[in-house]
Amino acid sequence: MPDMPPDMPPDMPPISTHESPNGSFPSASAATDAESQSARLVHADRVHHWHGFTQMADYESLVIERAEGNWLIDSASRRLLDGVSSLWCNVHGHHRPEIDRAIIEQLGRVAHVTSIGMGCDTTACLAERLAGLTPGDLDHVFFSSDGSSAVEAAIKMAIQYWHSVARQSGRPELATKTRYLAFGSAYHGDTTGAVSLGDITHFHRLFRPILFEPLRGPCPDSYRLPAGVEPADLLEHHAQQYESLISRHAGELAAVVLEPLIQAAAGMILHPPGLLARIRQACDRHEVLLIADEVATGFGRTGRLFACQHEGVVPDILCLGKGLTGGYLPMAATVARRHLFDAFLSPRADNRQFFHGHTFGGNPLAAAAALASIELFETDRVWECLPGKIQRLAAGLRPLGDVPIVGDVRQLGMMVGIELVADKSTREPFPSEWEIGNRVCELAMQDGVWIRPLGDVVVLMPPLSITLKELDLLTRSVRTAIDRVAASLAPGA
Ligand code: PLP
C-alpha cells in the first residue's frame, strides 16, 4: 500500500495500486462508493500528477476513466464531448474495436522491438504504408515517440545531410549550411531544438539561454496584417519576404522549418493560400531543404490527409505525430525523401549513418494502432463524409460573426480558431488576466463539451469521426458560452 500523502484528508481512504479488471481503482473499504472513489482519484491527480502547461496551484482535476466514440467519461461518470480530439490527436474516436483489436493482437506476439539495428514486421509494414501515403518520394520513415522528437530528428537529419553532400560532391561550402529559417509565432514542440525553432514568447522566452538562434521570418497571419498591407496583397508580401530571406541566407541555411497552411499552437493562424508553394519554389532555387511539421495538421485535420497536399507541395522532410496512431499511442515519424536518405548511405567504415535514435522509436504496439487507424480512413469512408462535416462545422460557426467579442472565426477543415477581442474594429485583445478564452471553455464544460483555448482563441478540433449531431452540439455549446461571456461584459451587465 502506498504511503498516505501528507496533505490527504484524514477521512479519505488510501489509493489502491491494484487495478480491477474493469480498469477502476477500488479500495477494499470503498469499492462500491463511487463518490469517494472519484474524490480519491481527483485527489491523486491533483496532488501527484504534475500536468504540463497547467498551473497546478489552481488546477481543478478532470480525471477521465473511460471513453466511448467521441465522448470522454470522467471519474464521476460525467460525459464530455471531446471537442479537441484529446489535444489534437484522436482521429476515429476512442475505444475503437478495430484499433483495440490490432493492439491486443500485437501484444500477443511482442510488445516492443527496438528499431536500432533491427526491426519488426508490424513497424516495417507501417513504414511501407506511410511511404505509399505520403506525397512524392517521401519514402523513408524514421520513427520516434512524439511530435517534438520528430522535429528534433528532422533538424539533425538536415544538418547531417548537408555535411554528407558536401563530402560526396566535393563542395565543402555546403557543410556550412547549419541554420534554420523558422516562422514568427512558430511552435514545434517542447524539446530544446524544437523550442529553439519556436517563437511563442510566453512559452519560450525563459529558455533562450539554452537555445540556438534560427533566422526568423514573419508570422504570415491572415487576421492581423502588417501595416499598410491589404488582404489581396498578403500572399505577395509574405512570399517576397520569405524569398528574400531564403536567397540572402542560402549559404548558411540547412532548411526552412514550417507548419504548413496553419499555425495551430499560435492560435490557429491561417497563412495566405499559395505561400507554402512559393516557399517550396524558393527552397528549390537556392538549395535549401523544406521541413514541413504536420504533427498537428496530418491525418485529415485540414480536409486532406496532409496539409501540404492542398498546394501540391512535397517537402524534403515531413514530421508526423499525434494522429499517426489515431491518437492512441505515442508514436511520431520523420519521413525523408529519397535523395536525403541516399546521402547517408556509404561503406560502414565511413560512419555516415544517421546519428540519432530513440529507444521506443517504431514501437510495434503503436505501429499496430497506426496501421489500424490508417485502415479506418477506408472503412469509415472518411474522405466521403468529411466535406459534409466541414460544411456543417462552418454553418454552426457562422452566427458567431455577429457576436461583438468575436474578432475572427477561422477554419481549415476540422481545425477552428475563434478569436475573442475587446474591440472588433481595432482587433484589440482583452487583458490576458481576464482569461476570456478560459471562461468560455469552462462554460462549455458545464454544458458537457470539453475544449481548451489558446489564450483568447477558442480552439475546436473534433475527431474526424464526430457525427453531424455531435457537431451541432459542439457549435451550439460554444456559441452559448461565448454569448454568455459577451453578455457578462456588455456595458451595464
Ligand atoms: N509540432 C506541432 C506543429 C505541434 O502542434 C506540436 C504539438 O502540439 C508538436 C510539434 C509537438 O508534439 P508533441 O507534443 O507530441 O511533442
Is pLDDT of 13 > 50?
Answer: no
CA of 455 to the centre of ligand 1 (A): 17
Q: Do 308 and 292 touch, CB atoms closer than 8 A?
A: yes
Q: Predicted confidence band at 217 (pLDDT cuts at 50, 70, 90)?
A: very high
Give, using CA atoms, the residue closest to atom 1 of ligand 1. 188
CA of 189 to the centre of ligand 1 (A): 5
CA distance 242 to 465: 37
> How would you class 65 by CB atoms within 10 Å of its CB: exposed for 0-12, middle for 13-18, buried for 19 or more?
middle
Is pLDDT of 17 > 50?
Answer: no
Mean pLDDT of the chain: 93
Ligand 1 pocket, CB under 6 A:
146-148, 151, 187-189, 259, 264-265, 293, 295-296, 321
Q: Predicted confidence band at 28 (pLDDT cuts at 50, 70, 90)?
A: very low
How would you write the chain as a 3-class SS string? CCCCCCCCCCCCCCCCCCCCCCCCCCCCCCCCCHHHHHHHHHHHHHHHCCCCCCCHHHCCCCCEEEEEECEEEECCCCEEEECCHHHHCCCCCECCHHHHHHHHHHHCCCCCCCCCCCCCHHHHHHHHHHHHHCCCCEEEEEEECCHHHHHHHHHHHHHHHHHHHHHHHCCHHHHHCCEEEECCCCCCCCCHHHHHHCCCHHHHHHHHHHCCCCEECCCCCCCCCCCCCCHHHHHHHHHHHHHHHHHHHCCCEEEEEECCCEECCCCCEECCCCHHHHHHHHHHHCCCEEEEECCCCCCCCCCCCCHHHHHCCCCCEEEECHHHHCCCCCCEEEEEEHHHHHCCCCCHHHCCCCCCCCCCCCCHHHHHHHHHHHHHHHHCCHHHHHHHHHHHHHHHHHHHHHCCCEEEEEEECCEEEEEECCECCCCECCCHHHCHHHHHHHHHHHCCEECCCECCEEEECCCCCCCHHHHHHHHHHHHHHHHHHHHHHCCCC
Beta-strand relationship, 415-420 and 406-412? antiparallel
CA of 322 to the centre of ligand 1 (A): 8
Give, using CA atoms, the residue closest to atom 7 of ligand 1. 189
The three grid cell numbers given for residue 301, joined into one nine-digit string: 485535420
Q: Do 332 and 296 touch, CB atoms closer than 8 A?
A: no
- In tens, the pLDDT along 328-382 reads 999 999 999 999 999 999 999 988 999 999 999 999 999 999 999 999 999 999 9
The three grid cell numbers given for residue 140, joined into one nine-digit string: 523513408
CA of 240 to the centre of ligand 1 (A): 28
CA distance 252 to 469: 52
CA of 418 to the centre of ligand 1 (A): 20
Residue 412, Ramachandran bin (φ over 0: left; ψ between -120 and 50: alpha; else beta): beta
Mutate-to-test residue for ligand 1 from 85, 89, 187, 306, highest number of ligand atoms within 8 A of CB: 187
Cα 57 from chain centre: 26
Is pLDDT of 325 > 70?
Answer: yes
Q: Tell me what the mean pLDDT of segment 439-466 comes to.
A: 97
CA distance 438 to 482: 11
Q: Tell me what the mean pLDDT of segment 441-458 comes to.
A: 97
Give, using CA atoms, the residue closest to atom 11 of ligand 1. 189
Mutate-to-test residue for ligand 1 from 87, 88, 148, 334, highest number of ligand atoms within 8 A of CB: 148
CA of 180 to the centre of ligand 1 (A): 18
Domains of the chain with bracketed CATH: 1-61 (no CATH), 69-92+382-489 (3.90.1150.10), 100-379 (3.40.640.10)
- In tens, the pLDDT along 45-65 reads 999 999 999 999 989 899 999
Instruction: Please state the atom number of ligand 1 nearest to the C-alpha of residue 330.
Output: 15
Q: What is the pLDDT of residue 33?
A: 76
CA distance 70 to 468: 12
Q: What is the pLDDT of residue 366?
A: 98
Instruction: Please state the atom number of ligand 1 nearest to the C-alpha of residue 322.
Output: 15
Q: Tell me what the mean pLDDT of segment 10-20 comes to.
A: 40
Q: What is the pLDDT of residue 441?
A: 98
Q: What is the pLDDT of residue 37?
A: 85
Q: Predicted confidence band at 11 (pLDDT cuts at 50, 70, 90)?
A: very low
CA of 316 to the centre of ligand 1 (A): 19
- Cβ burial 127-136 (10 Å sphere, 16+ → b, else e): bebbeeebbe
Q: Predicted confidence band at 83 (pLDDT cuts at 50, 70, 90)?
A: very high
Mutate-to-test residue for ligand 1 from 322, 454, 459, highest number of ligand atoms within 8 A of CB: 322
CA distance 46 to 61: 6
The three grid cell numbers given for residue 423, joined into one nine-digit string: 474591440
Instruction: Please state the atom number of ligand 1 nearest to the C-alpha of residue 321.
Output: 15
Is pLDDT of 76 > 60?
Answer: yes
Beta-strand relationship, 179-182 and 79-82? unpaired
Q: Tell me what the mean pLDDT of segment 392-421 comes to.
A: 98
Cα 54 from chain centre: 17
Radius of gyration of the chain (CA): 24
Residue carrying C-alpha cell 535514435: 357
CA of 293 to the centre of ligand 1 (A): 8
Q: What is the pLDDT of residue 2?
A: 32
- Angle, nearest 10°, between helix axes 364-379 and 121-133? 40
Is pLDDT of 23 > 80?
Answer: no
- In tens, the pLDDT along 107-139 reads 999 999 999 999 999 999 999 999 999 999 999
Which residues are CB-contacts of 332 (< 8 A; sequence separation ≥ 6)?
A: 143, 144, 145, 146, 147, 149, 150, 295, 319, 320, 321, 324
Instruction: Please state the atom number of ligand 1 nearest to the C-alpha of residue 332.
Output: 15
**In the chain, what percentage of residues exceed pLDDT 70?**
94
- In tens, the pLDDT along 280-293 reads 999 999 999 999 99
Instruction: Please state the atom number of ligand 1 nearest to the C-alpha of residue 191.
Output: 16
Q: What is the pLDDT of residue 32?
A: 58
- In tens, the pLDDT along 159-207 reads 999 999 999 999 999 999 999 999 999 999 999 999 999 999 888 889 9
C-alpha distances out from residue 116 to 119, 122, 125, 129, Å = 8, 15, 17, 20
- In tens, the pLDDT along 269-321 reads 999 999 999 999 999 999 999 999 999 999 999 999 999 999 999 999 999 99
